[in-house]
Structure 1
Amino acid sequence: MRQSMCQRGASCHNITSCSVCVCVCVSQLKMSADSNPRALHEQLRAQGDAVREIKAQKGSKAEVDAAVQLLLKLKADYKQLTGQDYQAGRPPPDAVMNDEDHDEDDGDDQVDPWNVSTSSAKGVDYDKLIVRFGSSKIDQELVDRIARLTGKTPHRFLRRGIFFSHRDMHQILDAFEKQKSFYLYTGRGPSSEAMHVGHLIPFIFTKWLQDVFDVPLVIQMTDDEKYLWKDLSLEDCHRYAVENARDIIACGFDLDKTFLFSDLEYMGASPSFYRNVVKVQKHVTFNQVKGIFGFTDSDCIGKISFPAIQAAPSFSNSFPQIFGDRNDVQCLIPCAIDQDPYFRMTRDVAPRIGYLKPALLHSTFFPALQGAQTKMSASDANSSIFLTDTPKQIKNKVNKHAFSGGKDTVEEHRKFGGNPDVDVSFMYLTFFLDDDEQLEKIRQDYRSGALLTGELKKCLIETLQPMIAAHQERRKLVTDETVRQFMTPRKLRFNC
């Protein structure tokens, strides 16, 4: 707690150390927690202790009354902020946790829906991020259970910890084990015509989930979000949504089980979807979204209300053409962990509007060519391998820009070896090279110095070139009619 001056003239570090100044100290602290539910919960606990301490010390009636009044005020503030009554020993749900609520030893990692950066060459510390966000680690037991229930070899993204964190995945598997189905929801914010290889990660994995669990999928194209956040016209945002849809469809999704929609089109045509947006809007306060997303008074009102739009696909009755009026079909959301703030909010509000909480599977970030300190960005051509790049462009980008974990000279590298943990070419291979034994041999050879940086880059180039060429060929087969079919609201194949 912050130090303050006691009315008796002493420095006070603990609000219970002085019954006279208890209200002063807590009131000063209150200013720093107006939008921070966890900090407010902690202040309530401390103020409760303070009330008991004043009574134990036989404080005056005025002191007791003042402390109790402050306790009641904090409880009222807590309910307004979180929508729930304060309960001792039960911190607020994960959805309303402020991203500033983390220990100072988290380093320089910055993770939110719009920015990802770290000072570490190895990238974001995901173990600390799990603690900070309050999610659960995907352990070998969970991976083995998925394999057992599906009868399929776990995807390389699971085997290698690329999808590393979850919320309530065991609950999804419990239901699946009882022949009760679920549905998948993921999305894309279309900010340019061309997607890069990092954008493929959630779709590659979602395609695998759709296949092994045989479940329907909804894909939200947040063209409205990009209009609100970027200096783009409404027409361009929607055009990018359609172009990106072609790349997504080219991943091989099943038309009979996939509905792909643009917010700008679907929300105006679906009363059920919009009703759920409004329900979420009513049950989330401005203080909450400020605390979760860092909005300021200068942000347009569209940004402040947008999280409710991203929340709505988490509820099955947002899609009556698929699920009718059912609100009991649980949703599983595969996404990068920077999108988790949206769904912490969603999971908090869901039971208060009578819906199931969505479950989540979180992926790591796909690093920029220049290093894992930030994720690959479509706004920087030299940081990204685009799905439209030619084999020559791929080769040049990898050779010129891919950050190396090798030594400065061949002699040093042969003697001391390279560091695959910071080498971008090796990181990319962990995403796209399917053979575990081959990947491990590359790791060992590079670390020992037997494999040079140029040779490692060559391995990556030879992996990416055919993969992207094959994607481009599949994309050519995606006609305007194919896009229209995927984006038309309709009944999907759903066994439940």
Structure 2
Amino acid sequence: MASTDKADAPPAVVEDKTTVSKQKIDPYNVAGEVDESGNVKAIDYDRLIQDFGVQPLTEEHLQRFEKVTGKKAHRLMRRKLFFSHRDFDKILDAYEKHGTFMLYTGRGPSSGSMHLGHTVPFLFTKELQEMFDVPLVIMLTDDEKYLYTRNKNEGVQKKGSAVEDFLKYAHENIKDIIAMGFDPKKTFIYTDYEYLGGHFYWNISEFESLVTFNQASGAFGFGNSTNIGLIAYMAKQCVAAFPSSYPELFGYKDYRAPDFALSAARRYKALASIPTLIPCAIDQEPYFRVLRDRCERMTDAHPKTALILSKFLTALQGPGGKMSASDPNSAIFMSDTPNQIKKKINSHAFSGGRETLEEHKRLGGNPDVDVAYTYLSYFLEDDEELADLNKKYRSGELLTGEMKARCIAEVQKFVSAFQERRAQVTHEVMRSYMSPRKLEFGGNPSPTNPATSTSAKPEGEASGGDDKAASGGKDGRGTKGERKAAKLAAKKEEQAAKKEEKLAQRPRTESEEAS
């Protein structure tokens, strides 16, 4: 998936203070509006809802979520930090009725360590995986990051930006992601450079045929000077959301080297019926808008992918941008020491306090723009404490230094716990998550209309994927192709049995008797 750090630039760099610009949010740019005085405004998320045509996440959605899962909504939902969606209600319907869906998200590796902002989608995705007990796929888009960086550098390959560098970044980022605590039994992680092929590539090729150059240019702003790899990349990220791109995760064979199983040289229609939910930052939404328009045009129609979209964790410098891996003073990295975290927040975190202590105590501060308070809203679990901090800051009772101290303590705790887990992630542990294998997940233990299991599978296949995931058709008899394959397999088994019976009844030679 495209990175939450696409632009690789500080969040609010405007050299000409007289330049007026509108906010720009897409997979490769995140910047707030700049007014006539050169001031960078906070990102207008209500405007993004209108511009992107997504829906706001409402209290009704949270109530429905808690009813379906039987659990309290995660703090990132409660505080509307995941604030908008596409068809989130339909995913809840599918889980309640049929029992399961697939989670998909990703990361574009641009450095050897993720920063605090990168952890937000993974923190939330982990909670969703635990609450719903569903399979998860995480894509590391090392190839896209290489293509974008080279395109940005006008075709020049600079030091630290070769293919091998981005693959190395991907491996380090995968270890970071694993340290978030994902369940290895139901999580598959891969890099594009290492995994693409098989049924995945079949979907890529078909999807590429459905998107024109004009459509790609319109969605992402590509021009005649954009390299062709970046233009074509969209198809990879889009079909990565299809369960049919990963047959092995559901107990089916993939058509890959070295065996090229003959039974795998066809599509598995049952996998195309599994819905997918994508938790990600809203700058990635254009990819999946293109995807949703083409889901039903695939050879095996897929349901439209659902999205739940987050805001950006603001840069230390304040509203108008997000943390950037290329600006160390804009971000807190997951490899930072406690002292580095303390220094960055004290030195660089934008304050919502007043200019003087007297004014602050008299007029109060503004937590809406205060970076320390913003970070606490993401990482502090206690709703009551967060509300109390907000109230005391507005009244002037709580000072800026005290707000920063509380933020420092919470961020240090989060990063230190992460680093302890990260130290346990060896190369072998990383590769275990990256090994294609049948995932183990339960889904909804009591669906109202459970999908029937696939009783018939192609010759040589393992016993069926997840019973709730791979539906065998409405009547439980399997699809037409599956029934035909099963009939052929039964016929071959019958012929083999008759052959063995004839061999057993024929007269034995002297050499056979001796043996």
TM-score higher than 0.5: yes
In the TM superposition, what whole-angstrom CA distance separates every residue of 1:115-160 from its partner, at most 9, and x where no partner exists? 1111376621111211111111110000011111111111000000
Does residue 219 of structure 2 align to residue 292 of structure 1? yes
Q: Answer whether contact 2:314 2:320 (CA < 8 A) is retained.
A: yes
More off after superposition, 183-192 vs 111-120 = 111-120
Name 1:308's counterpart in structure 2.
235
Give the distance between the partners of 2:95 and 2:42, measured in 1 at CA: 35
Q: Which runs of 5+ in 2 are unaligned?
A: 1-19, 35-39, 151-160, 253-267, 443-467, 469-515
Report if aligned partners of 1:183, 1:329 keep a CA contact under 8 Å in 2.
yes
2:381 partner amino acid: D
Say which SS state the counterpart of residue 334 (structure 1) adopts. Answer: strand
Aligned partners of 1:107 and 1:351: how far apart in 2? 38
Does residue 317 (structure 1) correspond to residue 244 (structure 2)? The answer is yes
Aligned length: 389
Q: Structure 1: 5+ residue runs without aligned partners?
A: 1-105
Question: Is residue 424 of structure 1 aligned with residue 371 of structure 2?
Answer: yes
What does the per-residue CA deviation read over 1:140-194, in whole Å, with 9 as the maximum and x for residues that have no partner? 0000111111111110000000001010111111111113310100000000001
Listed one character per residue, the Cα deviations across residues 12-62 of structure 1 (whole Å, up to 9, x for unaligned) are xxxxxxxxxxxxxxxxxxxxxxxxxxxxxxxxxxxxxxxxxxxxxxxxxxx
Residue 162 (structure 2) aligned to one of 219, 223, 233: 233
Query: Contact between 2:138 and 2:189, CA under 8 Å: does it hold in 1?
Result: yes
Residue 481 in 1 paired to residue 428 in 2?
yes
Q: Aligned letter for 2:217?
A: K
Q: Where in structure 1 do 4 or more consecutive aligned residues deviate above 6 Å?
A: none
Q: Does 1:141 align with 2:60?
A: yes
Q: What is the CA deviation profile of residues 206-256 of structure 1, one whole-angstrom value per residue up to 9, with x for unaligned ones?
A: 000000000000000000011101151000100000000011000110000
Residue 122 of structure 1 contacts residue 422 of structure 1 at CA under 8 Å; is this kept in 2? no
Of 294, 308, 321, the match for 1:361: 308
Name which structure has the greater RCO, CA cutoff 8 Å, separation 6+. Answer: 2
Matches for 1:26-425 after TM superposition, within 5 Å:
108-119=22-33, 123-231=42-150, 232-267=161-196, 270-323=197-250, 324=252, 325=268, 326-353=271-298, 354-425=301-372
Distance in 2 of aligned mates of 1:331 and 1:494: 15
RMSD value, Cα? 1.3
Task: Please say if residues 42 and 321 of structure 2, whose CA atoms lie closer than 8 Å, have aligned partners that are also in contact.
Answer: yes
TM-score w.r.t. the length of structure 1 is 0.77
Measure the CA separation in 1 of the matches of 2:415 and 2:374: 17
1:322 CA drift (Å):
1.5
Q: TM-score, normalised by structure 2?
A: 0.74
Conserved 8 A contact 1:350-1:356? yes
**Cα separation, 2, equivalents of 1:134 and 1:461:** 37
Residue identity matched to 1:245: I
CA 405–377 in structure 1, closer or farther in 2 if over 3 Å, else same: same
- Checking the alignment, whether the CA contact within 8 Å between 1:136 and 1:166 is kept in structure 2 is yes
